[in-house]
Structure 1
C-alpha cells in the first residue's frame, strides 16, 4: 500500500524549495515521489493523509542534545539520568518535531542507546569525546558517571561502533557555562549555605567573581556586586563574600585548563577519522577555537556550538561568530530562552538568539540542554520566520538539510523530503511551523495531538 500526503505547503529542507498543493508519496519507509494533486487516484490501494490546510516539512535533525542516553551525563560525565527521564527527554524531542537526535554528552557507549529506540521511535546517535584530557576534565568537574568501560574505550572504538562526530568538546559544566549555573553552583551553595538559588542567580554570582572569561584574577572580582547578590539571594549571614568567591572558584576553575587542552586532542582525533568536530563555543573557549581553526583550517568540519552563548555580550557573540565563520567553522544557533516557559526557568534572554538569527550568520540550529528547559528546533525556526530574519525555506534548512550536510553520518537518508529518503516528516499549522500537529518516522505516525503513538521501534 502507498501513502499519499496531500500537502497545502511543502518545504523540502534544501533551503530553496517551497511548493503548494502537492501530493507526497510514500511506500514503506521512504519517500518515492512528489506530484500534483491530480495524480492521486480517487480509488485504489492507497492511504490518503489530508494536510491541505497545513504545512509539511522534514523531521528536524538535532545534532546537539544531552540527556538522551543511559550513559554519563554532560561533558562532565555526571551520573546518568534514569531510563524514565531519558525516555521523557526523547519523547519531548519527538513532540517538538525532531526525528533524529545526536547525544553529545561525549562518554556514552553504543550499548547505552540500543534499547531506547524500542521505547521512543527517534533515530538516536552518539558522539565521542574519549580522549585523555577530556576524561580528565570530566573527572575534575564531576566524573561520577564514568565506569571502567567508559575510561578504557578509544575514539577509534567509538567510531567503529557508530559515533557520528567527535564532541561535545568542552561544556558549560567544565568551562564555566550554563552547566555550572543550573547544576554545580546551585548544588554547592545549597550544601554550603542551605539555600537554593536559581540558575540566573548562580550565573550572576559567577560573573561577579570570575567575569565572562572565567578568569581567576582578583581584578575580575566585583565585591560590591557580590554583596548585593548575597542580599538578593538570601545568602547574607549564611556565607561571606570571601566564602562565595572561594566556592565559585572551586566549582568552576579546576576543569577549565584540562577542558581547553581537550580541544587540541579532539581535533587530531576528528582529523584522523574524518568526522566532524563539535566544540563548545563560549567566551572562555572562543580563542582556543580561533587558534585551532587558524592552524588547521579546511581539513575537517568544525562546528562552533551555540554561538549565542550568554558568556558573551550580545554583540560580542555575533562578532565572534563572524570571525569563526571566516575561518571555516559551521555556526550553530541554539534555541536558548526563546519561549516564556524556558525564560521563567533559566532567567535567560532571547536577545542572543535574535541577534544571531538576524545577522544571518547561523548555518544550523540545535537545542542543546539548557538545564532541561530547551526549546524545540521548530520553535526556533518559527521565531526566525515570524521576526522576518529569514524566509521559510532557509529557516527550515537550518534544522534539516543543513545539519545533514554538516554531520553526514547523522542523517544519511534524513533531513530532506526527497525521493529515496526516509519518510521522516512533520505536519504543522500552515501559519506557524512551531505548532506541530503530527510527526512521522519512517512513514509511521509517532506523535499526534500530544499523544504518543509507539509503533514498537523503528522499522526499515
Structure 2
C-alpha cells in the first residue's frame, strides 16, 4: 500500500462503535476529514501521513454523540424558555463536553432557534439544536417562566425550525414543566426564598414536592396536614412554613404547566411521524403513561424516552416502564445527570437497574443543574462493573446514537471507511481519561488541552 494521509493513528486498541468490534491493535488513517484506513495490526509499508499519533496504551473510539444536553447555545434555556445563559456559561459548557470526548452535541432546550447556535466564535464542537415549537409547549413554557422567549421564538413552528436546520424534535416536557430536577434546584427554592427569605437545598425541595403532590404529581396523593407538618419539622422549616403555606407554594410552582406540557407530547409525536425526525420526550413518573399512549398512536415515529433513569422513578419502576416502552419501539435513553461521580442530588441506582436489565439504547448527559457527570465516566463505570463489555458500552454513546438520529449524526458514530473522522483517544484502562479529540479529521484537543486553532 502506498498512500499519504493527513493523520495516521497507530498502536491503539480500537472500538469501532458498532457494539461488538474491538480490535486489540489497529491503524487508522484519515484524509480530508474522513476515515479511509482501518486495519488491524501495524501500518503497512508505504503508508505515511503529515501527522502521526502513537496511541500505544490508548483506547481509540468514535467521537461521542450527546443527543440530550442543555445551555450550549445563546437561546432560551430549557423547555421553560428561561433567559438565555451567558456567553461565559455557554463557553464553559461547550469546553466541558469537548474535553470529555463529545464531538457532536444536540442542545434540546427546544425553544432556541438554529440561528442562535453561533455566539461569535469558532468553537470546534459540532452543536445543533432541536425544536419543540408547538402551541402547547410554548404555552407550558410561558406558564412557568418564558423570560427568554421573544416574538421570533413565539412565532416559530416545528416545520420552519426543521427547514432552518434543527436536527430533531423535543425535548418535550422538562424538569421545569413536569415537576422534575429544575423544580428542585431552581423554581421551588426560588418560591420558598420569596416567601420566607430562606434558601433551601434541592433535596429539601424534592421532599416538599413529594410530600405535597407525590412522585406522580397528583395532589390527591399528598400528605395530610399532620404528615406535612412532620415533614416540615424533619426539613427544619417548621419555624417559617405551616402546612397550608407549604402546600400552596408547591402547588403554585409545580402544577400550572403540567397539563400543557403533557399536551405537547401529542403535538410533537404527531410531528415526528409526519416529518420522519426523531423526537425526545421527558420521561419521568408524571409523563411516562402519556409517552406510552403516544407510542401506541404513532407507531411509525421514532420516539426517545429521555433520561429513563430519572430520579422520580424507583429502580423497579424504571425497568418496568422501560420494558413497556421498548415493546412499543421507543428508544430508551439514560442520562448521566449527577449520579455517577458527583452525586449532588442523585445516585446511580436507576442507571444500574436499567443497564443490568438490558434496557438501555443510548446515553446522554442532560443537565442536572449544570452538575452533570461526563458520558465517559458513566461508560467506565458500566465497564468496570462488568454490566456491559467495552464495545457494547461505547456504542451507547456512538453508533447507537448515530442510528437513532440520522439527521444529526448519520455520517459519523462509527470507525469505518467513509465516515466522518470524529475520534477520541483515551487511556486504555479508563475511557474517561481523554487525551486527544479529533473532529472532521482535525486535532481539537491535544493532551487534554483545547486547541484554539482547532
TM-score, normalised to structure 2, is 0.96
Greater mean deviation of Cα atoms: 166-175 or 329-338? 329-338
Greater mean deviation of Cα atoms: 437-446 or 162-171? 437-446
Partner of 1:161: 164
Q: Deviations over 1:321-349 (max 9, x none)?
A: 00000011001111133333x21x32x11
The one of 275, 286, 292 aligned to 1:273: 275
In structure 1, the residue corresponding to 2:281 is in which secondary structure? strand
Partner of 1:258: 260
Partner of 1:112: 116
Alpha-carbon spacing, 1:260–1:36, altered in 2? closer, same or farther (3 Å): closer
Alpha-carbon spacing, 1:41–1:150, altered in 2? closer, same or farther (3 Å): same
5+ residue gaps, structure 1? none
Does structure 2 conserve the Cα–Cα contact (< 8 Å) formed by 1:77 and 1:144?
A: yes
Partner of 2:201: 198
Q: How does 1:178-327 map to 2 (within 5 A)?
A: 178-217=181-220, 219-221=221-223, 223-224=225-226, 226-297=228-299, 299-327=300-328
Does structure 2 conserve the Cα–Cα contact (< 8 Å) formed by 1:195 and 1:235?
A: no
In structure 2, the residue corresponding to 1:39 is in which secondary structure? coil
In structure 1, how many angstroms separate the alpha carbons of the residues matched to 2:226 and 2:90?
42
Q: Deviations over 1:406-446 (max 9, x none)?
A: 11111121211111112111111111112212211122222
Does structure 2 conserve the Cα–Cα contact (< 8 Å) formed by 1:173 and 1:180?
A: yes
In structure 1, how many angstroms separate the alpha carbons of the residues matched to 2:398 and 2:232?
44
How far residue 191 of structure 1 moved from its aligned partner, in angstroms, is 1.4
In structure 1, the residue corresponding to 2:372 is in which secondary structure? coil
How far residue 366 of structure 1 moved from its aligned partner, in angstroms, is 0.7
Alpha-carbon spacing, 1:353–1:222, altered in 2? closer, same or farther (3 Å): farther
Does structure 2 conserve the Cα–Cα contact (< 8 Å) formed by 1:59 and 1:424?
A: yes
Greater mean deviation of Cα atoms: 196-205 or 253-262? 196-205
How far residue 59 of structure 1 moved from its aligned partner, in angstroms, is 0.9
Q: Deviations over 1:76-124 (max 9, x none)?
A: 10001001101110110111111100001001111100346x4421111
In structure 2, how many angstroms separate the alpha carbons of the residues matched to 1:45 and 1:212?
57
Question: Would you say 1:89 and 2:87 are equivalent positions?
Answer: no
Question: Would you say 1:150 and 2:153 are equivalent positions?
Answer: yes
Partner of 2:444: 446
CA RMSD of aligned residues (A): 1.6
Does structure 2 conserve the Cα–Cα contact (< 8 Å) formed by 1:208 and 1:223?
A: no
Greater mean deviation of Cα atoms: 265-274 or 389-398? 265-274
Does structure 2 conserve the Cα–Cα contact (< 8 Å) formed by 1:336 and 1:350?
A: no
Alpha-carbon spacing, 1:57–1:244, altered in 2? closer, same or farther (3 Å): same
Does structure 2 conserve the Cα–Cα contact (< 8 Å) formed by 1:314 and 1:351?
A: yes
Q: How does 1:122-133 map to 2 (within 5 A)?
A: 122-133=125-136
In structure 2, how many angstroms separate the alpha carbons of the residues matched to 1:398 and 1:43?
32
Partner of 1:367: 365
Q: How does 1:364-403 map to 2 (within 5 A)?
A: 364-403=362-401
Partner of 1:357: 355
How far residue 450 of structure 1 moved from its aligned partner, in angstroms, is 3.6
5+ residue gaps, structure 2? none
TM-score, normalised to structure 1, is 0.94
Q: Deviations over 1:178-212 (max 9, x none)?
A: 11111111111111111111111111111111101
